[in-house]
Amino acid sequence: MSEMLFTAAIARTIAEEMRRDPSVFVMGEDVGVIGGIYGASKGLLEEFGRERIRQTPISEAGFVGAGLGAACTGMRPIVELMYMDFTFVAMDQILNQVAKTRYVFGGKAKIPLVIRGQQGVGGGNAATHSQSVESLFLNIPGLKIAVPSTAADAVGLLRTAIRDDNPVLFFEHKKLYKGGKWEVPDDPEYMIPFGKADIKRQGTDVTVVATQFYVGEALKAAEELAKEGISVEVVDPRTLYPLDIDTICESVKKTGHLVTVHEACAVGGWGSEIESQVMDRVFRYMDAAPIRVGAKQCPLPFNPNLEKAVVPQIPDIVAACKRVLSK
């Protein structure tokens, strides 16, 4: 185990994979000299040179498409988007090309493409640079979606993503970048399979499903609720597609209560999808209707205090758990 920043763990994993496999390369804005504006490709240019660390103009549609083309021809590109909000600039490439190429060519083309970057609030970056957009991609067949909540999970999932022959959208969170140093496993083969949830805290009264930054917030809420004698189980699915619904359902069978928490808007977010799947499967074990905790249906404000008012806070999670328990 080593201690390092979240971004350093990402950069180290990319470097390890590039050493192992010459077909892995990085492409994106400012990924060279600066090492990515958040430092997630720091040091890569020095070791691998401009041929494999390719700096692009501000042209997301172009370089996501170029990544797809490279993937078709046998490379394993890692495309960094400076903000995952910019997926929308490249939406036709992602939705109509990346997600569908393997299918429309009858499986003849593999697409081992990773599109990664950070998202979320915490930077005072306002409405177009602070969104959590992972839910939107859940509605597109053909994409895998990873949403790590710790640097160790990010390392294990990123390696799996790079070695996967299908396109993966890899969402990191701004606030985790700023979360200080993390324990990270040093094994260069450390991998976490997709579709395998992690129970971050065991409990018996209510199941809280959260991802990314909100796993930590849910754990803090659980700590507070424990003082009141409420035992919270925190389940982190780690990937939204594929989704480990079995682990979530087993937890709900035990607790009878479900709360989902994410930073994306509550309306139409992945929390609704999970709640629907849980009710499909284990409705008879439920003691109350599940509750979604998510952002209000509102663009994200620039003002940090207003930003806090829009996205969920720990007291919101605590309140939701109590409400679902009729307490």
Partner 1 sequence: MAKKVIMPKQGLQMTEGTIMQWLVAEGGTVEKGQPLFEMETDKLTITMDAEASGTLLKIVRPVGDTVPITELIAVIGEPGEDISALLGDAAPAAAAPAESAPAAPAEAPAAAPVAERAPGERIFISPRARMIAEEKGIDYSKIVGTGNDGSIIERDILAYEASQPAVTPLAANVAKANGIDLAGIAGSGANGKITTADLPVSAPAAAEAPAAPAAAETPAQMGRGTRTERMSGMRRAISNNMLASKNTNAQTNHRMSVDMTAAIALRSQYKALGIKVSYNDIIVRACAKALQDMPIINASVDGNNIVYHDYVNVGTAVSVPGGLIVPVIRDADIIGLSGIAAKSTELIEKARDGKLTDSDYHGGTFTVSSLGMFDLDDFVAIINPPESAILAVGKIAKTPVVVTNEDGEDEIAIKSMCNLCLSYDHRIIDGAEAAKFLQKLKNYLQNPVLLI
Question: How far apart (Å, rounded) are the C-alpha atoms in residues 151 and 67?
Answer: 25
Please state, in angstroms and rounded to a whole number, the distance separating the CA atoms of residues 326 and 139: 33
When the beta carbons of 88 and 285 are compared against partner 1, the nearer one is 285
Among residues 4 and 288, whose Cβ is nearest to partner 1?
288
Least gap, CB of 227 to partner 1 (angstroms) = 20
Nearer to partner 1, 66 or 199 (CB): 199
Q: Does 326 bind partner 1 (CB under 8 A)?
A: yes
| 279 phi/psi in degrees, rounded to 5 | -70, -35
Is 286 a residue that touches partner 1 (CB under 8 A)? yes
Q: Residue 323 interacts with partner 1 (CB under 8 A)?
A: yes
Distance CA 64, CA 51 (A): 17
Task: Provide the minimum distance between the beta carbon of 140 and partner 1 in the complex, in angstroms, as a whole number.
Answer: 30
Q: Which residue has the tokens 């939204």?
A: 240
Touching partner 1, residues 91-120 (CB under 8 A): none
284 binds partner 1 (CB under 8 A): yes
Closest alpha carbon to 313 in 326, 327, 289, 294: 294
Shortest reach from residue 262's CB to partner 1, in Å: 23
44 vs 209 by CB, closer to partner 1: 209
Active-site annotation, residues = 60, 129
Among 95, 288, 314, 319, binds partner 1 (CB under 8 A): 288
Counting contacts by CB under 8 A, is residue 285 touching partner 1?
yes
Which of 190/285 has CB closer to partner 1? 285
For 94-106, letters b (16+ CB in 10 Å) and e give bbebbbbbbeeee
Which of 287, 301, 310, 319 contacts partner 1 by CB under 8 A? 287
Using CB under 8 A as the binding criterion, the count of chain residues that bind partner 1 stands at 9
* C-beta of 44 vs 324, nearer to partner 1: 324
Q: Are 185 and 1 in contact (CB under 8 A)?
A: yes
Residue 256 makes contact with partner 1 by CB under 8 A = yes
Measured in Å, how far apart are the chain's first and last C-alpha atoms?
Answer: 42
* Stretch in the footprint of partner 1 (CB under 8 A) among 5-13, 26-34, 62-70, 283-291: 283-291
Q: How far is the CB of 323 from partner 1 (least distance, A)?
A: 7
List the interface residues with partner 1, window 44-83 (CB under 8 A). none
Task: Please state the closest distance from residue 9 (CB atom) to partner 1, in A.
Answer: 30
Give the per-residue contact string, 300-319, with partner 1 (x = CB under 8 A; - = no).
--------------------
To partner 1, the closest distance from the beta carbon of 319 in angstroms equals 12
**Is residue 283 involved in binding partner 1 (CB under 8 A)?**
yes
Residues in touch with partner 1 (CB under 8 A): 256, 283-288, 323, 326
